[in-house]
């Protein structure tokens, strides 16, 4: 699945709200699925700009933390 920047999503949503095209028209214009645009519009309506931002940040774990998790797992077995 392609990932789109927050700015790209916002631009498409603003175009839709300004009446510059339907989901189908904007889908063809920006090469984005109609379903994605619908989801972006709903997220924007519900949460504003925050609804278009990626919700998951890349999480990193230390070697020590990973070892502790494995030890805990083995204790529970």
What local confidence, expressed as pLDDT, does residue 1 receive? 44
Per-residue pLDDT tens digits for 17-61:
999 999 999 999 999 999 999 999 999 999 998 899 876 667 788
Alpha-carbon torsion, ordered 8, 12, 15, 19, to 10 deg:
180
What CA–CA distance (Å, rounded) separates 73 from 44? Answer: 40
**pLDDT at residue 60 in the model:** 86
């Amino acid at each position: 699945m392609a990932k789109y920047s927050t700015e790209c999503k916002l631009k498409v949503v603003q175009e839709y709200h300004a009446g510059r095209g339907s989901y189908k028209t904007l889908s063809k214009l920006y090469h984005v699925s109609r379903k994605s645009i619908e989801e972006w519009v709903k997220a924007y309506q519900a949460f504003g700009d925050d609804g278009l931002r990626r919700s998951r940040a890349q999480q990193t774990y230390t070697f020590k933390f990973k070892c502790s998790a494995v030890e805990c797992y083995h204790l529970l077995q």
